Amino acid sequence: MKYLIILIQVADITVHVLANQVEPLRITANVIIIIWLLLPSKNQTKSLSLGSISLFAILNIYFISQFGITNDGSPRIFFWGAVISTLVLSGYFIKDTDFR
């Protein structure tokens, strides 16, 4: 599951770079999730995992508060898909992980 979450983050970054719409808040949020998931499992704790997901959510909420829920009048469908799928899958990943 973690590789699917990483794939979503890489796809999100790639789409924005290719569309020449580099959004530092969103890319930072994506990188936080990638780093968290690439950490060796012995270094992961539940609090680190929850903190990473919380920071991801906060950065994306801040992005929405700054730039709105639409992109030039059209809904940010890719944004919602990427963010919601990341949060849901990350939640399941944490639930299914046996932390030390």
Q: What is the pLDDT of residues 11-52, one digit of tens each?
A: 999 998 998 888 999 999 999 999 999 998 777 888 999 999
The predicted structure's pLDDT at residue 42: 79
Residues 69-94, mean pLDDT to the nearest whole number: 90
Place 97 in a pLDDT band, splitting at 50, 70 and 90: confident
Can you name the residues that pair with 75 across neighbouring β-strands?
Answer: 70
pTM: 0.90
Give me the pLDDT at residue 100, please. Answer: 64
The residue with tokens 């599951």 is: 1
Where in the chain does DSSP place strands (E)? Answer: 70-71, 74-75
Q: Rounded to an integer, what distance in angstroms lies between the CA atom of residue 19 and that of residue 68?
A: 18
